[in-house]
Structure formats: structure tokens, C-alpha cells
Chains A and B, each alone.
Chain A
Amino acid sequence: MDASVKQMSESLDALTVRDVSHRFGSMQALDDVSLTVPTGGFTVLLGLNGAGKSTLFALITRLYDNTSGTIDILGKDVRRQPSAALQRLGVVFQARTLDADLSLLQNLTYHAALHGLGPGESKRRAVAALELVGLGERANEKIRHLSGGQARRVEIARCMLHRPGLLILDEPTVGLDIGSRESVISIVRELVATHGIGVLWATHLIDEIENTDRIVVLHKGKVLFSGTVPGLREHAGADSVSEAFRALTGTTQAELA
């Protein structure tokens, strides 16, 4: 790759969402949403259940098309160049999506095949990806025998197989105990640091946010804030992220888990 192209790809954001609105019947799920996820950065999408996070994820993964606005993954429009866009995207869905009766390796090689990789290359990458999440020893065990946190780590390994430049995770720590949560978060943060991936991490758990993260607050389909964590506190005139979030959205402590 020559220098100018490299320069360009480095300056490219991993994800750009511009003026996206989406409605189901009379329900406005997303209202003029814009946000960016830079490469090599960890961006938190903070919102309560029903804020529109899952609709946004469905649009980014092209389960259905956005009715207005554009979504670019590393500069590829999801609607106009779906193949190129999806090739650059790794997803961890909120629901468990592994085949319980198949082994870790079989689950991973299936996914690699979905991205057009041959058997040899699939296996090579699957082994590396399992090492990456610390499950290299258990490659031939069935998913059924894993804990919830381990299964999540397999899903993270899986979405790395096709070398995505953008990783989106939809509440990946829901239902995990504290130890598993921490290991899942630290693995993903490590990926940002070592692989230069852009991450969009949807959550409603404020303690998952670090001071250096970028943050996007989504509430009832609208982006209320987008920027740095200190910027959010300043913007809301609050001392902590949870106070800032409550001030912005007008929610009470009880609504915020």
C-alpha cells in the first residue's frame, strides 16, 4: 500500500452515521441520529432499553435498510456497497448466536466460511482468535460446556476472524457475572489498543465507561450528546457520568440500572 492511500485509510472513521431516521409504522425509533466511531477508539453508545440501540444495530448490520440518512463503514455505504461494508464489520449480538452442539472450532470455521475463507485459512485464524480470548485450550469442546462469559469471548473471537476494522457490540455483558464482564471488556479494550479497531459498545451500564472513551448518549431515538467523557460532564454541569446522563435525559436513579 503506498503512503497516500495509507494516510487516507488512517484518517477514515470506522463508522459514520449521518442523519439517520427510522420509523416502524407510527413509532419513530430513530430521529435524525448522527455519530462517528474513529478507528483505534472505544466509543460507548449509552442508552436505556428502548432508546433505539437495537434498531441502530439492525440498520448498521443491514437487517433492513435505513429510510433516510447514510451509514458508512470505513467509507463504504451500507446501502450502496453492502458487500464491501459488511466485509469490514464485526458484530456481537445481544442474543447468543453460537451453535450449542458444535465445538468452538466448528462454530468459528462456520463463521469464517460465511466470509468466504477456505478451510485451511479458517482454521489458522480460528486458532489464533481463540488464543486471543484465552480459550485456545478448549477449541474442540462443545459450546454447551462453556459458561456465559466464555461463550461471549468465543463470539468476540468469532467476529475477529475476517479482520474487521469496525466492531459493534450490542450490550455484550448483559447477564454476565462481574468477573466475566471485566474480562470481556478488557479483551475488547485490548483489541482497540493492539489491532487499531474502532469499537462501538452499546450499554446501559455506566460503570463500563472509562474517562478516555468517547461517548454517545441515545435517548428515545435521539442523540442528546456526542463527545468525550469529561465533555459530557461539563456539558451537563454534573460531577459524574450517571448524574450527567440523568440530567440530560430527565430520568431518575431507579430507571438507570
Chain B
Amino acid sequence: MSVEAIAETLKPPNAPGGRAYRRHGLLAYFNCFRGIVWREVLRFLHQRERFLSALVRPLVWLFIFAAGFRQVLGISIIPPYQTYVLYETYVTPGLLGMILLFNAMQSSLSMVYDRETGAMRTLLVSPFPRWFLLSSKLLGGVAVALLQVYTFLFIAYFWEIEPDWPALQIGVGQGDDFFGISIPPPFNGYITVLPAIVMSGLMLGALALFMSSVIRQLENFAGVMNFVIFPMFFASSALYPLWKIRESSPLLYEICWFNPFTHAVELIRFAFYGQLNVTAFLVVLGCLVFFLGAAIFAYNPSKGLIARRGGPRG
């Protein structure tokens, strides 16, 4: 490429013969969104260790912990289950939640790290509005979580953990007169669980994003594990049904009930069986709106926490 051609390609509008700057249209927003999501996915795929550990973690719980626990804990028939279920089946939605939780916290930490190294600042000097940039980044994190979730479900399928409710029918009529698409199990559950995963992933991601603006310095992942991930995971319905917890400690039951992660897990559990848990849905939605609002506020240049607490050194 000639020097003239390069100069022509990159000439700013205020240079002689330069083209004027234009306002961003809808397509530009889409390009920006796609760029942010694509970067998250590319980065994840390039970090093979992260992919592997993200996959091994829930599988260890499923293959070892759940197998051992199977004899200890009998699950009675509670919605959405129609029959007695094995512990592995019970714990699977909890492990899907675990994947989302770890993924969100890891991306939150990478954001604290990003903010210190400057990658977050590269994002924030983009001319698009902050709420749009932050939401796109969240959706990028969810895209990465989806890769993990479906790989996990694929492996779990061979462990005979699959949704086993009647085919999902989209169309009109019933019985022999049915006209439309019929999606047989297990695919029906894999499809109906998708919106629940996306919503829960967004909610946990927004919580993590808010945390990333509050945490001033990157300490280590162990701190986040101890103070955020473990309490949220264990004080929830991921590993044991809430009524079991109530039997042993009413207080703990209350704590679990007020844990947003419990509702994320229940939303996923019901959706896996093609059902909507309205309470869980409303709680997850409410938390999503609240955390996302708080994060956008925290990153707002004039009101936010970054401005108040001081910026970089130097």
C-alpha cells in the first residue's frame, strides 16, 4: 500500500479534503455491540485453561460430589419434578448457576484488572454512551457463559441428565390434529432454559460489574471466592431444596430465600422443565434492573464512584 493510499484511508476530517464526522446510526451501534461481544468470546477461546477449568469445576461436582451425596439426600417430589429424582438431576440447575456465578465473578475481576491496566479505559473512550458499552460488555460475558453451559449440558447428557418432559409443541391443535413444530426432549428443555440462563447470567454479571466499580484494587480471586462466591452458592437452593434447610435452621432458610442466587437457580430449574417460576422471574428481573442501574451509576463520569474516589496515580 502506498504512502498516499494510507494517508487517504486514515486522514482526519479536519485535514484538507477530509470527510466530515458523522453521527452514529443504528448500524454503528450494532457494529460496536458485535465488536465487544466478539472480543469477549475470542479472549475466552484463547484462554484454554480458563475454558477447561470452567468446565471441570461443575463436572467434578456432578460426577463426584453428587454421586457421593446421592445416598445421603433423598429428594421428595417437589415442583417442577413429577417423580422422585436422583440427586444428580436435582443439582444440575444449581451447577448451571455455579457456571454463571463463576463466569460473572471472573469477568468482574478481569474488569477491575482491566481498569487498572487500561483495557477498560479503552472501552470507555468509545464515543458510544456508557450504558450501552457496559450492557454490551455484560452480554459478551453471557455469551461466554452460554458456551460453558451448553458444553456442560452436552456432557451431562451422557450421564443421563436431561430434561424428560413431553415434547414442546409450538403450533395449533392437539393430539392427532396438531399442526406446527414439535420439539422432543431433551431439546425442548435445552431451548426453554436459554432465556433463564441469559437473564440469570445478566443479573449476576450486573452484580459483578457493580462490584468491579466498588472494589478499588485487585487483591486476588481467593477473596472473592470466600466472601462472594461461596456464601452465595452454599446459602442457596443450588445444592439442597429450601425445605430441607428450613428443617435444620429457619434463619438459614430466610437467608437463602433472600439470596438472589437462589432465585436464579430456581428460574433455571423450572425453565429446564418448560415451566416459569413467577417469583424467581420477578426477583431475578428486579435484581438485574437494580444492579445494572447501580453499575451504570458507578461508572457515570460525573456522579460515579470513580470520580469521587480519584483516578489513576500520576
A212 to B142, CA, bound (A): 52
By a CB distance below 8 angstroms, the chain B residues around A91 are 121-122, 125
The answer to whether A136 and B121 touch across the interface, beta carbons within 8 angstroms, is: no
Size of the B side of the interface (Cβ < 8 Å), in residues, is 56
With A88-B21, A96-B117, A102-B43 in contact, do A125 and B9 touch (Cβ < 8 Å)? yes
Residue among A64, A74, A197 facing the most chain B CB atoms (10 A cut-off): A64
Instruction: Say whether, besides A62-B301, A136-B1, A165 and B35 are in contact (CB < 8 Å).
Output: no
**Is there contact, CB below 8 Å, between B126 and A165?**
no
Q: A53-B314, A99-B43, A102-B42 are in contact. Are A113 and B36 (CB under 8 A)?
A: yes
With contacts A55-B311, A113-B35, A114-B32 known, is A93 near B121, CB below 8 A?
yes
Bound together, the chains give a CA A197 to CA B12 distance in angstroms of 7
Question: Do residues B43 and A163 form an inter-chain contact, with CB atoms below 8 A?
Answer: no
Whether the Cβ atoms of A63 and B311 lie closer than 8 Å is yes
B82 near A: Cβ within 8 Å?
A: no
B10 in the interface (beta carbon within 8 A): yes
Partner of B5, one of A79, A84, A122, A128: A128
Given B16, B31, B39, which contacts A117 in the complex, CB threshold below 8 Å? B31
For window 56-103 of A, CB contacts with B under 8 Å fall at 58, 61-65, 74, 79, 82-89, 91, 93-97, 99, 101-102
| Pairwise interchain contact B46-A95, C-beta atoms closer than 8 A | no
CA distance A53 to B35 in the complex (A): 31
In the bound complex, how far is the Cα of B30 from the Cα of A113, in angstroms?
9
**A116-B28, A163-B13 known; A83 and B129 CB under 8 Å?**
yes
| Inter-subunit contact A161/B10 (CB<8 Å) | yes
Q: Which residue of A lies closest to B116 (CB)?
A: A95
B312/A116 in contact, CB under 8 A: no
Q: Enumerate B1-48 residues with CB–CB distance to A below 8 Å.
A: 1, 3, 5-7, 9-16, 18, 20-21, 23-24, 27-29, 31-32, 34-36, 38-39, 42-43, 46-47
Contact of A65 among B7, B24, B126, B301 (CB under 8 A): B301
* Known contacts A64-B311, A113-B34, A195-B15; A131 and B1 CB within 8 A of each other: yes
Residues on A lying within 8 angstroms of B by beta carbon are 1, 6, 9-10, 12, 14, 24-25, 27, 39, 49-50, 53-55, 58, 61-65, 74, 79, 82-89, 91, 93-97, 99, 101-102, 106, 109-119, 122, 124-125, 127-129, 131-132, 136, 160-161, 163-165, 194-197
17 contacts between A and B (CB under 8 A): A9-B14, A24-B309, A25-B310, A54-B314, A64-B301, A89-B125, A93-B122, A95-B116, A101-B43, A101-B46, A106-B42, A114-B35, A122-B31, A125-B9, A128-B5, A136-B1, A161-B10
Chain B residues at the A interface, C-beta cutoff of 8 Å: 1, 3, 5-7, 9-16, 18, 20-21, 23-24, 27-29, 31-32, 34-36, 38-39, 42-43, 46-47, 116-119, 121-129, 301-302, 304, 306-307, 309-314
